[in-house]
């Protein structure tokens, strides 16, 4: 079954610094990969997705992610973090045989002044 | 446009009581998902429906849990009897079936079972 691992439970970055959140997937075929963000007390919101094609995908709020098959990774990046980016970030994997997603455990991002 | 609407937002109940969580998906979405979120286990898929039909309920923890979708605009998740270990945030999400993975989540129902 497809699964994702997010190695970092917590990440702290300074406002204005760059950000990279790690995600590794396990899936035999080409996966459908997603990043979602959850603000406190809220549901999850889709940031970006990868199905096929260009391995660098752009999302909302200035985020991007790169699919690297050789490393089974789909890391999320942002060149300059804003205080409002503090939230929980989830990587997820799906497949074309179903529409449900399997989520990683999440990475909590703290942004310091 | 209205998003996914869940009720209640918070529920505190005693062990053994019946709990019913409700969800109204986004109009035009024909897939609906129930997830449970806890600190220990993260986000777990409980069940999902396509066109009101349950497709995969393998994530439902035990017979105490049941879910229904009587029509395209309403779903319920019921726990009977509830136990303290059921305490979690329960999310409902919907999507258009032809757009894989673009789930729209409600704000969740936080359940506390004493």
Mean pLDDT of A88-108: 85
Which is it for the CA torsion B49, B54, B58, B62, positive or negative? positive
* More confident: A98 or A19: A19
Q: What is the largest CA-CA distance in chain B?
A: 41
Contacts with B101 (C-beta within 8 Å, 6 or more apart), sequence order: A32, A34, A46, A49, A92, A94, A99, A101, B95
- Residue B109, chain A, CB below 8 Å: the answer is no
Mean pLDDT of B52-78: 93
CA distance B65 to A4: 26
For residue A32, what are the CA distances in angstroms to A61, A98, A110? 21, 11, 27
pLDDT score at B1: 63
Of chain B, the percentage scoring pLDDT greater than 70 comes to 96
Chain A residue with Cα closest to B50 = A99
Mean pLDDT of B1-13: 93
Give the tens place of pLDDT for each residue, A23-78.
Answer: 999 876 778 899 999 998 888 999 999 988 889 999 999 999 999 999 999 999 99
* The two three-digit tokens of residue B20, written as one number: 């019913």
User: Which 22-41 residues of chain B touch chain A by CB within 8 A?
Assistant: 31, 33, 35
């Amino acid at each position: 079954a497809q699964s994702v691992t997010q190695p970092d439970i917590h990440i702290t970055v300074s406002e204005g610094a760059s950000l990279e959140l790690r995600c590794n997937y396990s899936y035999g075929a080409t996966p459908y990969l997603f990043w979602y963000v959850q603000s406190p007390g809220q549901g999850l919101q889709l940031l970006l997705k990868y199905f096929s094609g260009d391995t660098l995908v752009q999302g909302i709020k200035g985020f991007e992610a790169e699919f690297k098959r050789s490393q089974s990774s789909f890391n999320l990046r942002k060149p300059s973090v804003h205080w409002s980016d503090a939230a929980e970030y989830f990587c997820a994997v799906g497949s074309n045989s179903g529409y449900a997603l399997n989520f990683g455990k999440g990475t909590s991002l703290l942004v310091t002044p | 446009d209205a998003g996914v609407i869940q009720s209640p937002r918070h529920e505190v109940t005693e062990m053994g009581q019946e709990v019913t969580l409700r969800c109204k998906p986004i109009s035009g979405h024909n897939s609906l998902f129930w997830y449970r979120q806890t600190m220990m286990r993260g986000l777990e898929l409980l069940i999902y429906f396509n066109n009101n039909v349950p497709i995969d309920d393998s994530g439902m923890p035990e017979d105490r849990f049941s879910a229904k979708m009587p029509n395209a605009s309403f779903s319920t998740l019921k726990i009977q009897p509830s136990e303290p270990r059921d305490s979690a945030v329960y999310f409902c999400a919907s999507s258009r079936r032809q757009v894989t993975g673009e789930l729209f989540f409600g704000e969740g129902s936080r359940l506390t079972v004493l």
